A and B are shown apart, each in its own frame.
Chain A
Amino acid sequence: MAHEEFSIYQSYQEFLQSDPDMSMPVAAVQSLVEFIRQSQASTMSEFVVMVRDAAQVLKSSARNSVSLAAGCDLFMQAVTRMADANVEECRQNLINRGTKFVEKAASCRESIAELGEPFIRDDSTILVHSYSRVVMTLLLRAAAHNRRFRVYVTEARPINSGYRTAAQLRQAGIPCTVVLDCAVGYIMEEVDFVLVGAEGVVENGGLINQIGSYQISIVAKAARKPFYAVAESYKFVRLFPLNQFDLPTHTAQILSFDSPQSVASPSPSLSDTNSMELDGAALDLAKTNPEVDYTPPSFITLLFTDLGVLTPSGVSDELIKLYY
C-alpha cells in the first residue's frame, strides 16, 4: 500500500525546505493533505484513525512541536466536522479545503501587515525579537509605504536569528542595530514598542515564542512600553500553560541540575578564552536549554492577527469558536 511507504515527517520537512516562506502549521496541513491523497481507507472510521495517527506521528517527530501541533489540530478539527460524510466525499473535500488553505496562508500575512501598519508611526523606534516572517512582512510593508522608523533586533542566541532579521531590514533600507539579548533592559528606554512573532498563541491569549520573548515582555512592562505580538490565526493552539514547565516542549533534560561529581568538562575559564572552545560550550548549552518560552497574557498589550487586532482575551473567544 502506498501510504505505508509515505513518511509524513519527511514530506513535512520537504515542504518546509521547498518554500522558505512557509510556516510550520501550513507545512503540517500540506503534508497531511498529501497523506490523505495517498491513503486508501475504505471506511470513515478507518480514515479518521489513520489521519489522527499521522498527525500524532508528525507531532511527536519534531523537537519543537507547538506551532506544528496548531496546524495538525486545525486539520483534525476539519476532519471531525466532516465525519458524517462518506469517505471519498470527505477525502476530496479535505484535499480541496487543505489546498485552498495553503494557498491563502501566504496572503494572510499581508492582511495582518495591513492591520498592523498604522501602529508603526514615523520616527518610532521598535524592538524586534529574533526572526519572524510575519513581523518582517509588517515592517517591510510599513517601509514600502514610506514610514521612517528604526529597529533594534535582539541577537536571539543560540540560533542567532537576529542577524538574519537585521540583514533583511538593512536591505530594505531600514536603519537597524543588533543588540545582545542581555542588553534589552539597557535599550528599553529608547524603544517605543516591542514587536514579536509567535510559534503559538495559547488559549488564555498568552504567547509561545522564541526563547527570550518572556523576559523582553517583563522589561517592556516595567518600562511601560507596549508589547505587541503578531500571529496568524492558524497558530492559535489548544494549550493552557500556567508556567514555563507546562509547555509541551519542556523535558526533564532542560536545565536540570547534574550532580557535581558527574560534571565531565569544567566550564571554560576566562584565561583560556578560545573561540573554538566557546562555540563548543554554546552548542552544549543549546542542547540543555529551552527553545521557546511562554509569555502570560498580562504582559501582552495587543495581538495583531488576521482576525483583527485583538486583546489577549479576544484570542480565547476565537479559540472557543474554533473548538467548542
Chain B
Amino acid sequence: MVKDVNFLVEDLVAKLKRRQITGSYTIALETAKLLRQIISVTRWSTAGALIDRIKQEGCRLVAAQPKDVVVANIVRRVLHIIREVYTENRDAVDEDDGTILAAAPVAPQALLQPQQPSFSIHSSMFPLLGDHADLPADYTRPVHNLKSEIIQEIQEYIEELENMYSNVSSQAMDHIHSNEVIMTCGYSKTVESFLKFAAKKRKFKVIVAECAPTFQGHQTALALTAAGIDTTVIPDASVFAMMARVNKVILGTSAILANGGLIALSGTQTMVEAAKHHSIPVIVCAGLFKLSPVFPFDEESLSTEVSPDSVLDFTKGHFISEVEVINPFSSYVDPSFIDLFITNLGGHPPSYLYRLLNENYDAEDTYLLKS
C-alpha cells in the first residue's frame, strides 16, 4: 500500500519537474486528488500523524517545482481541512463511550453568554483577554470517523475547484456592461470564461495584447471571436496608446501573493501602469487556490525567464554570441495597481486578502519547506 502511494507521488513529482502538467488549475486538481488518495490509502491513527505525512509528501511536491505556488497552496489547504475536521469532531464526541459530552451541560450556558471573539494564541492580548480553556490542539487524540469526514471535506474542496470557472464567471454581469471596451493580455482560461459569460447577454468589445513572443493573445482572440465577441488584437507596444479608449482592464494571473501582488505574465506590468496613468480600473480574475500566504520578500526571485529561442532564433543569428537575449515569462506586479480581485467567493479589494488567507490556511503552514 505504502509503495503505491510512493509511486503516485513520484509520478506527479516527475510530471511537475518535466512540466508535463502545466496550468495552475490542472496542477491544483492533480495535487488535491493525490492528497485525497494518500489520506485514504495510507495507515494513520491520529490527525497529528496524518498532518506530518501530508507535510512530508507536500514538501516533495513543492520541491519539484518550487516557483509554482499552487502546489503549496493545495497542500496548505488540505492541512487546514484536516485540522478543522479534527477540532470539530474532537470536542463533539468522547471516544470511550461514544456519548456526546459537549452538547448537554455547556450549551444552555453558552447560549446565555455572548459569544466572545477568539484570539489566536500568538496574540499578545491573549493572556489578558483570551480564554485559557482554548489551548492549542494536540492532534494526538484518536477521533471516531475522522478519515471519512476528512475525505468527505476534501471531496467537497475538489468539487469547489471543479466549479471554480463557473463561480468566477457568473459574476461577470456585475462588472461588464453594454458597449464597454475591455482590455486584456495573454491567455487566461478564467478570463476567457468570464468574458464569454458576459457575452451571453451583453455586447462589448475586447482588445487583446498579443504578448509576444508566446502570442498567447492570439489564442484568446480566437476563443473570443468563436463566441461572437468583437475582438481586436494589438501589438504589445500599442498598449499605452489604446488604453485611452478602454473602460476596464481584466487580467488573469498565475498566483496572488499575500499582499495582493501578482505573479503574472510579463506584459501585465506594462498594462497596469498604463491603466493607472489613465485611471482605468484593473480587475484580476482568479480562483482562490491561487492565493498564496507568502509575501514577496524578494521580488526579483519571483520572475521567470524562459528560453530566448523564440525571441531570436538560434539558427538565424550569426551574431548570437555577441548579444544577450532574454525572454522574461512572468514577473511580479505590485498590489497598488490592482483595484479588485474576483475569485470564486466574490469580489475583494487587495487590502482584504489577509482575511481570505486567515479563513483558508493555517499560519503554521505558511513555510512548508522550512519545517
Does any Cβ of A come within 8 Å of B124's Cβ? yes
Provide the residues of chain A in CB contact with B116, threshold 8 Å. Answer: 81
User: Most A CB atoms within 10 A — which of B126, B350, B353?
Assistant: B126
* From B117, B129, B258, B355, contact of A74 by CB (8 A): B129
Scan B338-371; emit 1 where CB is below 8 A from any A CB, else 0.
0000000000001111110010000100000000
* From A306, A314, A317, A324, contact of B123 by CB (8 A): A306
Does any Cβ of A come within 8 Å of B259's Cβ? yes
Q: Is the CB of B124 within 8 A of A309?
A: no
Provide the residues of chain B in CB contact with A105, threshold 8 Å. Answer: 124
Provide the residues of chain A in CB contact with B358, threshold 8 Å. Answer: 308
Provide the residues of chain B in CB contact with A103, threshold 8 Å. Answer: 127
Q: Is the CB of B129 within 8 A of A118?
A: no
Provide the residues of chain B in CB contact with A78, threshold 8 Å. Answer: 128-129
In the docked arrangement, what's the CA distance between A308 and B358, Å? Answer: 10
User: Interface range on chain A: under 10, 10 to 19, 20 to 34, or 35 or more?
Assistant: 35 or more
The chain B residue sitting closest to A233, CB to CB, is: B124
Q: A81-B116, A233-B123, A233-B124 are in contact. Are A310 and B354 (CB under 8 A)?
A: yes
Interface positions of B from 126 to 152, Cβ below 8 Å from A: 126-129
Scan B110-121; emit 1 where CB is below 8 A from any A CB, else 0.
000000110110
User: Interface range on chain B: under 10, 10 to 19, 20 to 34, or 35 or more?
Assistant: 20 to 34
Interface positions of B from 39 to 83, Cβ below 8 Å from A: none
* From B122, B126, B259, contact of A302 by CB (8 A): B259
Interface positions of A from 69 to 98, Cβ below 8 Å from B: 74-75, 77-78, 81, 97-98
Q: A121-B297, A307-B122, A321-B119 are in contact. Are A314 and B127 (CB under 8 A)?
A: no
In the docked arrangement, what's the CA distance between A310 and B363, Å? Answer: 13
Q: Is the CB of B124 within 8 A of A108?
A: yes
Q: Is the CB of A97 within 8 A of B127?
A: yes
Q: Is the CB of B259 within 8 A of A308?
A: no
Does any Cβ of B come within 8 Å of A56's Cβ? no
Q: Is the CB of A81 within 8 A of B125?
A: no
Does any Cβ of B come within 8 Å of A163's Cβ? no
Q: A104-B124, A307-B120, A307-B123 are in contact. Are A77 and B295 (CB under 8 A)?
A: no
Q: Is the CB of B119 within 8 A of A309?
A: no
In the docked arrangement, what's the CA distance between A287 and B350, Å? Answer: 42
Does any Cβ of B come within 8 Å of A312's Cβ? yes
Tell me, rounded to whole Å, the shortest Cβ–Cβ distance linking B122 to chain A: 6
The chain B residue sitting closest to A94, CB to CB, is: B128
Provide the residues of chain A in CB contact with B96, threshold 8 Å. Answer: none
Does any Cβ of B come within 8 Å of A313's Cβ? yes
* From B125, B126, B128, B352, contact of A313 by CB (8 A): B352
* From A98, A306, A311, A317, contact of B122 by CB (8 A): A306
* From A97, A111, A310, A321, contact of B128 by CB (8 A): A97
Provide the residues of chain A in CB contact with B324, threshold 8 Å. Answer: none
Q: Is the CB of B259 within 8 A of A311?
A: yes
Does any Cβ of B come within 8 Å of A322's Cβ? yes
Q: Is the CB of A104 within 8 A of B127?
A: yes
Does any Cβ of B come within 8 Å of A149's Cβ? no
Does any Cβ of B come within 8 Å of A101's Cβ? yes
Q: Is the CB of A74 within 8 A of B128?
A: yes
Provide the residues of chain B in CB contact with A257, threshold 8 Å. Answer: none
Does any Cβ of B come within 8 Å of A100's Cβ? yes
Q: Is the CB of B122 within 8 A of A29?
A: no
Tell me, rounded to whole Å, the shortest Cβ–Cβ distance linking A39 to chain B: 18
In the docked arrangement, what's the CA distance between A111 and B125, Å? Answer: 13
In the docked arrangement, what's the CA distance between A103 and B127, Å? Answer: 9
Interface positions of B from 228 to 267, Cβ below 8 Å from A: 258-260
The chain A residue sitting closest to B128, CB to CB, is: A101
Q: Is the CB of A233 within 8 A of B125?
A: yes
* From B117, B124, B298, B355, contact of A306 by CB (8 A): B124
* From B120, B125, B258, contact of A234 by CB (8 A): B125
The chain B residue sitting closest to A109, CB to CB, is: B124
Provide the residues of chain A in CB contact with B124, threshold 8 Å. Answer: 101, 104-105, 108, 232-234, 306
Q: Is the CB of A77 within 8 A of B127?
A: no
Provide the residues of chain B in CB contact with A98, threshold 8 Å. Answer: 128
Tell me, rounded to whole Å, the shortest Cβ–Cβ distance linking B323 to chain A: 28
Q: Is the CB of B295 within 8 A of A309?
A: yes
Does any Cβ of B come within 8 Å of A186's Cβ? no
Provide the residues of chain B in CB contact with A310, threshold 8 Å. Answer: 354
The chain B residue sitting closest to A77, CB to CB, is: B129
In the docked arrangement, what's the CA distance between A108 and B128, Å? Answer: 13
* From B258, B351, B355, contact of A309 by CB (8 A): B258
Provide the residues of chain A in CB contact with B350, threshold 8 Å. Answer: 311
Tell me, rounded to whole Å, the shortest Cβ–Cβ distance linking A7 to chain B: 23
In the docked arrangement, what's the CA distance between A322 and B125, Å? Answer: 9
In the docked arrangement, what's the CA distance between A119 and B297, Å? Answer: 5
Tell me, rounded to whole Å, the shortest Cβ–Cβ distance linking B33 to chain A: 31
Provide the residues of chain B in CB contact with A317, threshold 8 Å. Answer: 355
In the docked arrangement, what's the CA distance between A309 and B351, Å? Answer: 12
The chain A residue sitting closest to B117, CB to CB, is: A321
In the docked arrangement, what's the CA distance between A313 and B335, Å? Answer: 14
User: Most B CB atoms within 10 A — which of A103, A302, A321, A324?
Assistant: A321
Between-chain CB contacts (< 8 Å), 19 pairs: A97-B128, A97-B129, A98-B128, A104-B127, A105-B124, A111-B122, A233-B125, A301-B259, A302-B295, A306-B123, A307-B122, A307-B123, A309-B258, A311-B260, A311-B353, A314-B355, A321-B117, A322-B117, A324-B117
Extra pairs beyond A81-B116, A101-B124 (13, CB < 8 Å): A74-B125, A75-B128, A77-B129, A100-B127, A100-B128, A101-B127, A104-B124, A301-B259, A309-B295, A310-B354, A311-B259, A311-B351, A313-B351
Question: Top 10 closest A-B pairs, CB basis?
Answer: A108-B124, A100-B127, A321-B117, A101-B128, A313-B351, A101-B127, A118-B297, A311-B351, A314-B354, A234-B124
